[in-house]
Amino acid sequence: MHWYGETAFSSFKEVLGINAINVIPTFLGTAVFSAGFLAAFGLIVLVESSALMLVGGAMSFGGDPGARRAFTLLGWKRREVTREDYQRAQHRAALYTTAGLMLFAEALMLALAFA
Protein backbone atom coordinates (compact mmCIF):
# COMPACT_ATOMS: atom_id res chain seq x y z
CA MET A 1 0.00 0.00 0.00
CA HIS A 2 1.26 3.45 -0.86
CA TRP A 3 2.07 5.74 2.06
CA TYR A 4 -0.96 7.91 1.27
CA GLY A 5 -3.28 5.00 2.00
CA GLU A 6 -1.35 4.04 5.11
CA THR A 7 -1.53 7.63 6.36
CA ALA A 8 -5.26 7.87 5.70
CA PHE A 9 -5.92 4.55 7.45
CA SER A 10 -3.75 5.51 10.43
CA SER A 11 -5.45 8.90 10.63
CA PHE A 12 -8.87 7.22 10.56
CA LYS A 13 -7.86 4.95 13.46
CA GLU A 14 -6.59 8.01 15.34
CA VAL A 15 -9.88 9.84 14.74
CA LEU A 16 -11.85 6.86 16.06
CA GLY A 17 -9.75 6.88 19.22
CA ILE A 18 -10.13 10.63 19.64
CA ASN A 19 -13.90 10.38 19.24
CA ALA A 20 -14.09 7.60 21.83
CA ILE A 21 -12.14 9.73 24.28
CA ASN A 22 -14.24 12.84 23.51
CA VAL A 23 -17.39 11.25 24.89
CA ILE A 24 -16.25 11.74 28.51
CA PRO A 25 -15.59 15.52 28.30
CA THR A 26 -18.80 15.89 26.30
CA PHE A 27 -20.85 14.35 29.11
CA LEU A 28 -19.07 16.60 31.61
CA GLY A 29 -19.68 19.64 29.40
CA THR A 30 -23.37 18.89 29.05
CA ALA A 31 -23.75 18.49 32.81
CA VAL A 32 -21.84 21.64 33.76
CA PHE A 33 -22.92 24.03 31.00
CA SER A 34 -26.36 22.57 30.24
CA ALA A 35 -25.56 22.41 26.53
CA GLY A 36 -26.75 19.82 24.07
CA PHE A 37 -24.65 16.69 23.65
CA LEU A 38 -24.06 17.13 19.92
CA ALA A 39 -23.27 20.84 20.29
CA ALA A 40 -20.66 20.14 22.96
CA PHE A 41 -19.25 17.20 21.01
CA GLY A 42 -19.02 19.30 17.83
CA LEU A 43 -17.21 22.10 19.67
CA ILE A 44 -14.68 19.71 21.20
CA VAL A 45 -14.07 18.06 17.82
CA LEU A 46 -13.65 21.45 16.13
CA VAL A 47 -11.07 22.61 18.69
CA GLU A 48 -9.15 19.35 18.40
CA SER A 49 -9.18 19.48 14.60
CA SER A 50 -7.64 22.94 14.58
CA ALA A 51 -4.98 21.86 17.09
CA LEU A 52 -4.08 18.78 15.03
CA MET A 53 -3.81 20.80 11.83
CA LEU A 54 -1.56 23.35 13.55
CA VAL A 55 0.67 20.59 14.92
CA GLY A 56 0.87 18.94 11.50
CA GLY A 57 1.75 22.23 9.84
CA ALA A 58 4.43 22.97 12.43
CA MET A 59 5.92 19.50 11.98
CA SER A 60 5.94 19.95 8.21
CA PHE A 61 7.56 23.37 8.48
CA GLY A 62 10.15 22.14 10.96
CA GLY A 63 11.23 19.36 8.61
CA ASP A 64 11.54 21.66 5.61
CA PRO A 65 15.12 22.11 4.35
CA GLY A 66 14.65 25.88 4.05
CA ALA A 67 13.53 26.13 7.65
CA ARG A 68 16.49 24.05 8.76
CA ARG A 69 18.85 26.41 6.95
CA ALA A 70 17.17 29.37 8.63
CA PHE A 71 17.66 27.70 12.02
CA THR A 72 21.33 27.27 11.19
CA LEU A 73 21.66 30.94 10.16
CA LEU A 74 20.09 31.98 13.46
CA GLY A 75 22.76 30.03 15.29
CA TRP A 76 20.60 27.12 16.39
CA LYS A 77 22.46 23.87 15.98
CA ARG A 78 20.69 21.38 13.78
CA ARG A 79 22.03 18.03 12.72
CA GLU A 80 22.35 17.18 9.07
CA VAL A 81 19.16 15.61 7.74
CA THR A 82 19.02 12.85 5.18
CA ARG A 83 16.28 12.48 2.58
CA GLU A 84 14.80 9.58 4.59
CA ASP A 85 14.57 11.78 7.71
CA TYR A 86 12.83 14.47 5.68
CA GLN A 87 10.32 12.00 4.22
CA ARG A 88 9.65 10.47 7.64
CA ALA A 89 8.94 13.95 9.07
CA GLN A 90 6.58 14.69 6.18
CA HIS A 91 4.71 11.41 6.74
CA ARG A 92 4.26 12.17 10.44
CA ALA A 93 3.05 15.68 9.60
CA ALA A 94 0.60 14.23 7.06
CA LEU A 95 -0.80 11.91 9.74
CA TYR A 96 -1.69 14.81 12.05
CA THR A 97 -2.94 17.05 9.26
CA THR A 98 -5.14 14.32 7.77
CA ALA A 99 -6.61 13.48 11.18
CA GLY A 100 -7.32 17.18 11.71
CA LEU A 101 -9.05 17.42 8.35
CA MET A 102 -11.16 14.35 9.14
CA LEU A 103 -12.20 15.83 12.49
CA PHE A 104 -13.00 19.15 10.82
CA ALA A 105 -15.20 17.36 8.28
CA GLU A 106 -16.94 15.58 11.14
CA ALA A 107 -17.58 18.86 12.98
CA LEU A 108 -18.88 20.39 9.77
CA MET A 109 -21.27 17.49 9.21
CA LEU A 110 -22.52 17.77 12.80
CA ALA A 111 -23.09 21.50 12.40
CA LEU A 112 -24.92 21.10 9.10
CA ALA A 113 -27.04 18.16 10.22
CA PHE A 114 -28.17 19.56 13.56
CA ALA A 115 -28.18 23.32 13.04
List, for residues 29-38, the tens digit of each pLDDT value.
888 888 888 8
Q: Quick one: CA dihedral 91, 94, 98, 104, positive or negative?
A: positive
- pTM value > 0.75: yes
Q: What is the pLDDT of residues 66-105, one digit of tens each?
A: 666 677 777 766 666 677 877 888 888 888 999 999 999 9
Q: What is the pLDDT of residue 61?
A: 77
Q: What is the pLDDT of residue 92?
A: 86
Ramachandran class of 2: left when φ > 0, alpha when ψ lies in -120 to 50, beta otherwise: beta
1 has pLDDT over 80? no
